[in-house]
Amino acid sequence: MPWYIKTEKFKLATEKLQPNQRRKYLDMHHEWVAKLQLSGVKVSSGYLVDENQNPGGGGLLILEAASFKKAKELVKEDPMITFGLVNWHLEEWKIVQENILQ
C-alpha cells in the first residue's frame, strides 16, 4: 500500500493561543492518532524542531492508505484540521529505495 505524508503549520490565530489552549487540541490530535493505530492504520505523527530543539517547523504525519482518496478522508478527521488550526498539505510518498517502512 502507498504511504502518504501530511505536512502542516499552525495558522497565525493558533500560534496566538495560550499553550494550555493549544494543548487541548494537541491532546485531541494524539488521541485521534492512537485510535487510528488501534484500528490497524500504520501511522506516525510528530513535530519538527530546529538545531536547538525549538519547535516551530510544523508537524508531519506519515500514514499508509489504500489510495489518495482514503488518506485524505482519514487526514480530514484530524482535530487540528477539523478545528481549522493548521494549514496543511497531503502528498503521496513515492519510495524509490527499499527501507524499514516496507
pLDDT in tens, 33-58: 999 999 999 999 999 888 988 877 78
Dihedral sign for Cα 64, 67, 68, 73, please: negative
**Class assignment of domain 3-93?**
alpha beta
Task: Quote the pTM value.
Answer: 0.87
Whether residue 101 is predicted with pLDDT greater than 70 in this model: the reply is no
